[in-house]
Structure 1
Amino acid sequence: MSLLDRPMASREDRLKRIAEEIGTLTVSTEDDFLALGESLQDVYRRSADMTETGKSLAGLLSGESMGRTVEDLRELAGRMTGYMKASEEVLQGDLAALESVRSCLERSRRVFGRFGLVARTLNILGTLTRIESAHLRGGGQSFRFLSDEVARQSAQIGQSASDVLDSLDSLDRQVQSLLSKLRDFHEKQSGQGRAVLDLVASSLSDLLAKQSASSEAIRCVSERSEQISRSVGEVVMSMQFHDITRQRLEHVKDALTDLVEDENNQGFRGACELQTALLRQAGDDFNAAVRNIFKNLDRVAESLDQGCRETREFVNQKEGAGESFLDRLERDMLEAAAALRRHDSAGREIETAVASVAETIEVMNEFLAGVQGSGYSIKFIALNATIRAAKIGRQGMTLDILAEAIRDVAGEARQYTDTLAAVHRDIEEARSQLRKERSRTAEVEAAVGELTEVLDAVRQANSRSLVMMNEVEGKSRALTEDIRDLLGGVTVHRRVETRIGEALVGLGEILEQTPADPSSGEPGSGEGLEALASRYTMESERAVHQAVLTSQDRKAAGGGPADPTPQGDDILDDGFELFDAPAPETSAGEADLGDGIELFGDPAATTEEETDLGDGVELFSEPAPKPEEEAEESGDEDLGDNVELF
């Protein structure tokens, strides 16, 4: 049965019942507020756990490990680019060297064509020498030997020159075919190589951009989670308002009880007015605190819900594009590796051509050595024949001319061998350019292996980040739902508001039935009220007390009635600024929830716009120090000794 429903009784009985109801209220709501505090503690623990997950997530994609991964990719791309450029340079050098080889081969073919003419000329001279030596009968033996040797050497030179020409023709066809293939390969590969390198560079730029975007998004998630955790922690701490209200209600109850037990009954109306003002102020402050806590918890829930949506959107983007992007990056890098392998394949064909050039050079060396030997032999025999012809006299003149001609042809062959020796040196030089170290297969395969490892690391980090983002999103969603369930399930504050309201109505009825008696020392004297001041432990109570005394003094002096309830900052000047006006807007650089969290706004605000929470978060300041006189008057009682949160 409420106070309003009970039958009328004496003033003292009604006052006693009001005091009892107030005392019962402070005890009966204790468990409810403890349960609320435990629920808020659970919310705080979960928000703190979510914050730790957010920090781990931020460290995963923006920490040292991911930085090393990106640098490894850069270094690999740089090496692949270096390999590609080096291979291009080698290929261009090969083309130039093969062109030089082919030019040398053409010169060699022309020279070897002349050796065929030398062989035919020697054969004719040898035949003529044999015919002329037959006329000398017994004296032409040495000339017959000369003709036989010339015939043998001419046949050998002719056959060797023919064999070398065949080798040169075959090698020329091989080099020409290889040149044609390499030119086509160079034209295609140079363009493709540049395109691949451009793609790799573009992919790396995209990776860095995505890395930066991911880090920024995750940083925002982490900061939001951390700010939410702090805000929930501040809401939890703000549950002090229940203990503050409990103390104020107990002071009112004690004062009303003393008033009932006062036999002299002096200062009754003034004391009753004072307790009514204190009770009304406690109720107003309680209601404002509850409204602000609920409003701020709802803001936290909205912020969590917004964070869930942003996190889900980011996760969906990463799931939709992350793997395809990594696949494209891997494809580009592997294409660069494949291009390098094609360069190596072309290099192996060049090495085959180099081997053929080497074989042909060996054949040429053997031929040149043979021609030089034949030339010396023919010149020596021709010299002997010339001496013999001089001894014979006029009959040997023709043979002398033939021997001289044979010696001249042999000398011409020697000149051709000198020319071939120079060509031979040019071919050797060109071949040395072709035989430079060209294979990068081992380096390329090693780079591909490293690439696979690095991309696997990126994929793993990407997968872990998605798992953690989903975890943050799931925790945020669950916490949002639980906060809203909590807001919908808390009703104890309504009971407190109702009981305080009933007590105020009862006190109002008692005051209406209690006439003022100036001679009793009530208004203006303050003697009965001053004793109550020693009970107060909070500045807000002292402020209300002083406001009531001032109001009563004005009435006693004949002035108009004044509102005994203090206004503005005087209400709760107890060192705990639980119900401050909104803090000034924070700067853009400060981390906040975007919509601000301030638990206890100005309770005097009556509209939604006036109770805007602002951007800052200010729950309560440090307790204001008491003057020594007040500390002595109030004894050992203080909020710091009487407040136990949970």
Structure 2
Amino acid sequence: MGQVRHVLHCLHLLAPTTAGHEKIGAGGKKSDLHFVGIFQQLAQDKSALDLTAREIEERFLSMGSCVQELTALSTHLLSQSERLAISTGTEFKTILQGAFEVIEKQLEFVAQYQEINTRLVNQLADYLEKFQKLSNCQEDLDRILTPMRTICVLFKIHSVSLENEERSFFESLTMEIGSLQQQASAKFGEQMTGLLKTGEALSANIPNLREQAREQGEKVRQKKATIEESMGTLQRQFEQMQASHERLSQAGKELKTASGGAVLGLQYQDITRQKWEHVAEAIQEMSQKAGSTVPATDTLIFLRDVSRIQIRQVTAIQNDLSQAQSTVGTSVHDMLEKLRAMDEECQRTCGKSEGSAAVESMVKELLEALSEARVWVAELSSMARTTSSAVSSFDKTASDVSGTLRRLSASIGMVALNAQVQVARIGHENGLDVLSEFICVSSTAIKSFSETVGAELDRLVGELHETIVECRHVEEKTREEQRWLEEQGRQQEEQLHVCRDATVAVQLEVAESLTKIHEQAASVLGHADFQKTSHDGFKQLQETLQQCADLADQSLGTTVSTEVAHHVHHLKKSYTMESEREVFEATVAESRSASPPVKTVDRSTRKEEKIIPSGERARPVVPVESAPERDMAVVRRDVEPAPAVTTEAKPAAETKPELGDNVELF
């Protein structure tokens, strides 16, 4: 009995003293020496695993910080992707649609006024043809005015015999007729020549104007088709980019959901910490029991069963760490799958080169189209000014010709009337009456000529005036359109640049966030590698506990108590998690099934037992059911067990992994 108590004393100390070694060496059993070595190793293993537990705790804390950062990054990425989807879905779309409408409006305006310009040029060509037909009126007028010279000579001859007053009248009449004839021949001829020259100049320019109008019309038609095709392409590109941004936003939501799964792995921090505290407390109690006054048999049973329980508890801790690593790893790998999908979308629309180039290309094409529209309107305005200037000069010349004819007709008519009055006063005997009649005939012819040609000229001048008004209207409208287009172009350009910069900036932010999430996910996976940290230490502790259990079992032999739970029942009360209690019950059940019946001895007869020499006496058997309560008392532990924390009930619809242990989420 003294040897057993010596062994228990050594177990309590865990690290035996030199005196203890000498005592064991002098009279102790070999198994006692084994117990001392085991508890030395157990103390070392526990000390090493205390460091490992702290390292695991630090890993959990670091992983928690990384998961928190990962969740924040995922939330930020979701916000960015949603902002990107909104930017392309509403802001950019509105601006692009506005630019499309401006360009389409300009195409319609240019096409409309290009047709007007073409029509005005054709009208001008028609006017020139009509004026060309009037060029023969100069010869007709000359044929009418030529006899006037003869009449003037005859008036001079026949007025010689008249008295001074009558002769003076006919001399002045003759001079006036000569002046009118000369004026008609010179001025009218000069004006008609100028009109014809203007017509010739315009005729020479009309092919250029027609060619310019034709080329402009063809250019507008081609460019309209090209721009419509480009607008369609841009619209499709925009829709693709918008769809890609929407997919990014959806993937961001899925990524945010997946990041929540990593949080579930963090709850194992409390689980493993509490379990390890219970294991450490049990090992501490084993050392305390080894130095108590509990009978040797009960102590050995306690050591054996507690060792077996702690072996399973250590295995459970390893499984929990593996489950934590698996849960976090699965969540992170799920996130990586989502990230790969986002990477592909980002490569197409949010890359530093591709994304910027796509948006830049859209903006560039729209700005080029707006710029070309301004050029077309400017060309229309220039063409309208050219046509208006040509028609105005032609109109002025034609008006001068028409005015000259009217004045000539009125003057000749006045001369004829004066001649008739004077001849009637003088009489008909000198032949002046014949000359007077001839002047009247000439006056009538000139009047008829003036009315015919003048009416044609007036009609042409009226049409020219209408053309001038229309040209000026076109010119004014094109100037207004040019001013409006320049203003709209500036606004569209500013909006496009702002929206482009904002979209590209968000695209780059998304790409950078994806890079950060990749880095953070790798960091989480690195911190979640618990097996690398704890495998060897836990394995060594399990081996030492197994050695302790085996040695206790060997020391007990066939005399083993069947009431195992009676010695370790207090451990179950300290367990706050269902899994620990399940391990406890499994170990107890296994011990019961492996334990043979035990003989018990009535304690009341121990006083009358004969003391047998140590070499002859058998090992006493202590009845468990009659053990004093002080033998069943549990020594107060230095470390208080972690308080039980309840988890909130999860909805049935959630698919997050559930834990049987009652612990607080991280």
**2:77 pairs with 1:54:** yes
- Alignment partners' CA distance in 2, 1:166 and 1:400: 32
Q: Which moved more, 1:52-61 or 1:180-189?
A: 52-61
- Alignment partners' CA distance in 2, 1:492 and 1:531: 28
Q: CA deviation at 1:60?
A: 5.2
1:343 to 1:369, Cα distance in 2 relative to 1, 3 A: same
CA contact (8 A) 1:61 1:215 kept: yes
Structure 2, unaligned stretches of length 5 or more? 1-10, 15-20, 22-29, 598-643
> For residue 109 of structure 2, what is the amino acid of its counterpart?
A
- Alignment partners' CA distance in 1, 2:306 and 2:236: 71
Alignment of 1:475-624 (within 5 A): 475-479=516-520, 482-483=523-524, 485-486=526-527, 487=529, 490-511=532-553, 513-514=555-556, 522=563, 530-547=569-586, 616-618=655-657, 620=659, 623=662
Q: CA deviation at 1:82?
A: 1.0
Partner residue of 1:275 out of 282, 300, 306: 306
For 1:449, the equivalent position in structure 2 comes to: 490
1:148 to 1:109, Cα distance in 2 relative to 1, 3 A: farther
1:67 to 1:55, Cα distance in 2 relative to 1, 3 A: same
| 1:336-384 deviation per Cα after TM superposition (whole angstroms, max 9, x unaligned) | 4224314413422331331232233233333333332332222122123
CA contact (8 A) 2:416 2:443 kept: yes
Partner residue of 2:56 out of 16, 29, 33: 33
> For residue 364 of structure 1, what is the amino acid of its counterpart?
A
Partner residue of 2:206 out of 170, 176, 185: 176
- Alignment partners' CA distance in 1, 2:48 and 2:530: 22
Q: The residue matched to 1:239 in structure 2 has which SS?
A: helix
For 2:316, the equivalent position in structure 1 comes to: 285
For 2:412, the equivalent position in structure 1 comes to: 378
**2:458 pairs with 1:425:** no
- Alignment partners' CA distance in 1, 2:332 and 2:324: 12
- Alignment partners' CA distance in 1, 2:352 and 2:37: 70
For 2:605, the equivalent position in structure 1 comes to: none
1:59 to 1:216, Cα distance in 2 relative to 1, 3 A: closer
- Alignment partners' CA distance in 1, 2:271 and 2:533: 16
| 1:293-317 deviation per Cα after TM superposition (whole angstroms, max 9, x unaligned) | 3334544665566677666655655
Q: The residue matched to 1:457 in structure 2 has which SS?
A: helix
CA contact (8 A) 2:138 2:192 kept: no
CA contact (8 A) 1:46 1:479 kept: yes
- Alignment partners' CA distance in 1, 2:47 and 2:544: 13
Q: CA deviation at 1:30?
A: 3.4
CA contact (8 A) 1:132 1:399 kept: yes
CA contact (8 A) 1:44 1:232 kept: yes
- Alignment partners' CA distance in 2, 1:256 and 1:243: 20
- Alignment partners' CA distance in 2, 1:451 and 1:393: 89
1:528 to 1:235, Cα distance in 2 relative to 1, 3 A: closer
Q: CA deviation at 1:453?
A: 3.0
1:490 to 1:546, Cα distance in 2 relative to 1, 3 A: closer
Q: CA deviation at 1:239?
A: 1.6
1:557 to 1:575, Cα distance in 2 relative to 1, 3 A: farther
For 1:406, the equivalent position in structure 2 comes to: 442
Partner residue of 2:228 out of 172, 195, 198: 198
Q: Which moved more, 1:130-139 or 1:258-267?
A: 258-267
CA contact (8 A) 1:62 1:215 kept: yes
| 1:215-255 deviation per Cα after TM superposition (whole angstroms, max 9, x unaligned) | 24643664465356434433333222321322431464366
**2:210 pairs with 1:219:** no
Partner residue of 1:117 out of 130, 136, 140: 140
CA contact (8 A) 1:51 1:222 kept: yes
1:16 to 1:474, Cα distance in 2 relative to 1, 3 A: same
1:531 to 1:462, Cα distance in 2 relative to 1, 3 A: closer
- Alignment partners' CA distance in 1, 2:453 and 2:252: 86
Alignment of 1:323-338 (within 5 A): 323-325=356-358, 326-327=360-361, 329-331=363-365, 333-338=367-372
**2:185 pairs with 1:158:** yes
Q: CA deviation at 1:10?
A: 7.8
Q: CA deviation at 1:121?
A: 0.6
- Alignment partners' CA distance in 2, 1:41 and 1:545: 31
CA contact (8 A) 1:73 1:454 kept: no
Q: CA deviation at 1:127?
A: 1.9
Q: CA deviation at 1:72?
A: 1.9
For 1:352, the equivalent position in structure 2 comes to: 386
| 1:420-458 deviation per Cα after TM superposition (whole angstroms, max 9, x unaligned) | 222221111111111111223333433443454344335
Partner residue of 1:468 out of 486, 509, 512: 509
- Alignment partners' CA distance in 2, 1:13 and 1:181: 115
Q: CA deviation at 1:31?
A: 2.3
Partner residue of 1:43 out of 60, 66, 80: 66
CA contact (8 A) 2:275 2:313 kept: yes
State the superposition RMSD in angstroms.
4.4
- Alignment partners' CA distance in 2, 1:488 and 1:160: 115
| 1:174-216 deviation per Cα after TM superposition (whole angstroms, max 9, x unaligned) | 2623532333223332223313422541353144235325424
> For residue 268 of structure 2, what is the amino acid of its counterpart?
S
| 1:19-76 deviation per Cα after TM superposition (whole angstroms, max 9, x unaligned) | 8578646644332223222331342254245335524642553344884244223212
For 1:632, the equivalent position in structure 2 comes to: none
Q: Which moved more, 1:425-434 or 1:134-143?
A: 134-143
Q: The residue matched to 2:32 in structure 1 has which SS?
A: coil
CA contact (8 A) 1:259 1:268 kept: yes
For 1:613, the equivalent position in structure 2 comes to: none
- Alignment partners' CA distance in 2, 1:554 and 1:483: 45
- Alignment partners' CA distance in 2, 1:185 and 1:154: 49
Q: CA deviation at 1:513?
A: 4.6
* Number of residue pairs the alignment of both structures matches: 574
Q: Which moved more, 1:433-442 or 1:56-65?
A: 56-65
Q: The residue matched to 1:402 in structure 2 has which SS?
A: helix
TM-score between the two structures when normalised by the length of structure 2: 0.72
- Alignment partners' CA distance in 2, 1:57 and 1:127: 103
1:550 to 1:492, Cα distance in 2 relative to 1, 3 A: closer
Structure 1, unaligned stretches of length 5 or more? 559-573, 587-615, 624-638
1:620 to 1:528, Cα distance in 2 relative to 1, 3 A: closer
> For residue 381 of structure 1, what is the amino acid of its counterpart?
V
Partner residue of 1:131 out of 154, 162, 170: 154
Q: Which moved more, 1:194-203 or 1:60-69?
A: 60-69
| 1:443-502 deviation per Cα after TM superposition (whole angstroms, max 9, x unaligned) | 343344345434433553465346435533543454455456543994234302330243
Q: The residue matched to 1:491 in structure 2 has which SS?
A: helix
| 1:534-563 deviation per Cα after TM superposition (whole angstroms, max 9, x unaligned) | 3332333444445566667878999xxxxx
CA contact (8 A) 2:578 2:660 kept: no
CA contact (8 A) 2:370 2:489 kept: no
- Alignment partners' CA distance in 1, 2:54 and 2:357: 56
TM-score between the two structures when normalised by the length of structure 1: 0.74
1:192 to 1:161, Cα distance in 2 relative to 1, 3 A: farther
